[in-house]
Structure formats: C-alpha cells, structure tokens
Amino acid sequence: MIWKALLLIVLVVMALALWVYWQYKRMTKSFPRPEFRPAKQRPSPREWGTSECHISWLGHSTLLCSLGNVLFMTDPVFSPKVGVRLGPLIIGPRRYSEPGLALSDIPTPDVVLMSHAHLDHFDIPSLRKVLHSEAIVVTPKGTGRLVRRVHSGKICELSVGESVRLENGMTVESVPVRHWGNRFPWNRSYGYCGYLVEKDGARIFFAGDTAHVTHFADLRKHGTIDVACIPIGAYAPETFQGAHCTPEQAWDMFLQTGAKFLVPIHWGTFVLSQEPIDEPLHRLEQAAGSERRRIVIRQIGEEFAFASERS
C-alpha cells in the first residue's frame, strides 16, 4: 500500500509540474526570444573610495551601491533562471543578459534591501551566496521568514512608512508603491515596498517594482535625493500596467521625486512581458527629451559616482 501511495504522490507532482509548465508556455508564447548578451561593462567596487558615493546596475533590479563606508545591494538575483522550482525543474524566465559582476567579484555587502517576494526579485539561491553572518537584511513586513531560510543574522522587517536607523549610520525608510507581494497564489501576508536610503546627506531612492503612482513627491520632505532607481519594463500588454509602469510613467515619477539623476531598472535581463527588449530605454529617453543626460546608467555593469551634500 505504501508504494501505491508514493506512486500516486509522484503522479500528482508530475501532473502539477506539467500543468504549471503548460500555463507558463501559453502565457509567454507572444514574448520576445532574445539571444544571450554578455556584459559589456564591469564596475570596480573594490576600488570605490569613501569620498564619493557609487551606484552600479548589475541587471534587473539588482543594484550595488556605496554610501560612504557602507555597501548595500538591492534584490540580489544572479541565477541563470528564476521561477517555480519543482525538484530539479525551474519553470520561469531564463536570464538573457549576463550579470554586471560575478558573485566572486562582489565585495560582501553590509546591507541587503529586498523590495518584495516575487521570484524575479527574491531569489533564494542568490541570497544564500550574497549574505554573510554580519549582513543586515531589510525586507517588507511578512517576508522575514523567507530570509531566515538562508540567513542567521539581523533581519529588519518594515511596514510601509516605517524606518530604521542601522548601526552603521544608514537610515532606511519603507516607501509605498503600487504592486503586489504574493510569492505564490496562496500567500496573503507578504508586503512590498520601495526604500529611501540615506547616510551622511546622500540619498538613494529604490522604487523596487511599481505601477504609476502620484505620491513620490512626498519624498522631497527628506531633502534632495541624489539618485532615483525606478523600473521601466514589463508593461505590455496594457493589463500589466496595474502592477508595472511604462517608461513615460517612470520618467514622471522620477520628476515627482525631485531627484538629480535616474537609474532605470527592471528591464534588459529577463523577458517578463511582450514589449521588445530594448524598447523601454528608447521610450524613456524620448520621454526625457532634452533632460536625458540625467539618465546616468543605460547598460548593465555601468557605474556612476556622485558627491553627497556633506562632501
């Protein structure tokens, strides 16, 4: 009887895997199929000094940033494929752009910021490799237990609007965005947010993943933001815009923040929607018009340095 029960379980799991795979293929049949792209640029974070602040886009929503002597990373995703794991099978998008740095070339971050639990942002295998025991993880309310699978160190869960001042002098505030947080259909308690990060007068806003909102002007009360990092991809078909902004909307939200510079994220790495893979940046530059010089990173692996107000 035991072997019959085990056989039934195996058959059910196989049927579920086939159903999930069929649903994924059906949903993505009209998506682009790009060739793999090696990284053309590589940042040099081990050479970053403390007299300036630095930011580099490593792909998708993964940023490596330094504010003074603190190094932080957002939504670390370095896996070649992300998605639903059913044993050895991963059902989801394959990375078509090489990360800006290999994990072995990245200095250990002091802080890791997680925007939400979606599989293309909250990648457990990548977290396992990035985190060390002294790292501080800031994550939305309800998602700390996911981090705890791979991290025994400090975890700060923030509800929207909450902030924390870390021991290293960095302040992190959770900012409301328009998205959703469920990792799987049965999840109901996972939060989602963006973050305003500040240290010694330097400020970086990381929007995570969001549809168009009109409240980012509220961030101006904290002082001038140096760099805003805002998503520009995954907006087609139009029904996706309930959770993802268009490039034109991203530019509008950048202007709302009053930030000096813009780093577009959430594009050029995974095919998550129907728009052509290079369209998001082209549309963003058109929206920016004569101010396109404020878009300071356009390729994976690029880095940008800036001085804080106190420099």
| Rounded distance between C-alpha atoms, residue 30 and residue 62, angstroms | 26
Task: Calculate mean pLDDT across residues 80-107.
Answer: 91
Task: Calculate mean pLDDT across residues 151-156.
Answer: 96
Q: Find the range with the poorest average confidence among 81-95, 150-164, 228-242, 251-265.
A: 81-95
pLDDT given for residue 86 in this prediction: 74
Q: Length of the chain, please?
A: 311
Residue 290 tokens read as: 């004569």
Q: Where are the domains of the chain?
A: 37-306
Tell me how many degrees the CA angle 74-152-140 measures, rounded to the nearest 5.
Answer: 40
CB atoms under 10 Å from CB of 45, counted, come to 19
Task: Calculate mean pLDDT across residues 41-64.
Answer: 97
Tell me the pLDDT band of 28, cut-offs 50, 70 and 90.
confident
CB atoms under 10 Å from CB of 35, counted, come to 5
pLDDT given for residue 26 in this prediction: 67
Distances (CA, A) of 251 to 10, 89, 237, 248, 291: 49, 38, 19, 5, 10
* Those residues with Cβ within 8 angstroms of residue 193's Cβ, 6 or more apart along the chain or in another chain: 115, 116, 140, 158, 160, 174, 175, 176, 177, 208
Q: What is the pLDDT of residues 167-188, one digit of tens each?
A: 999 999 999 999 999 887 777 7
* Those residues with Cβ within 8 angstroms of residue 134's Cβ, 6 or more apart along the chain or in another chain: 110, 153
Q: Report the relative pairing of strands 202-206 and 194-199 from DSSP bridges.
A: antiparallel
Q: Is the pLDDT of residue 235 over 90?
A: yes
Q: Are 240 and 188 in contact (CB under 8 A)?
A: no
Task: Calculate mean pLDDT across residues 32-43.
Answer: 95
**Domain at 37-306: CATH architecture:** 4-Layer Sandwich (3.60)
Q: What is the average pLDDT value for the chain, to the nearest integer? A: 93
CB atoms under 10 Å from CB of 228, counted, come to 28
Q: Is the pLDDT of residue 258 over 60?
A: yes
Q: What is the pLDDT of residues 197-225, one digit of tens each?
A: 999 999 999 999 999 999 999 999 999 99
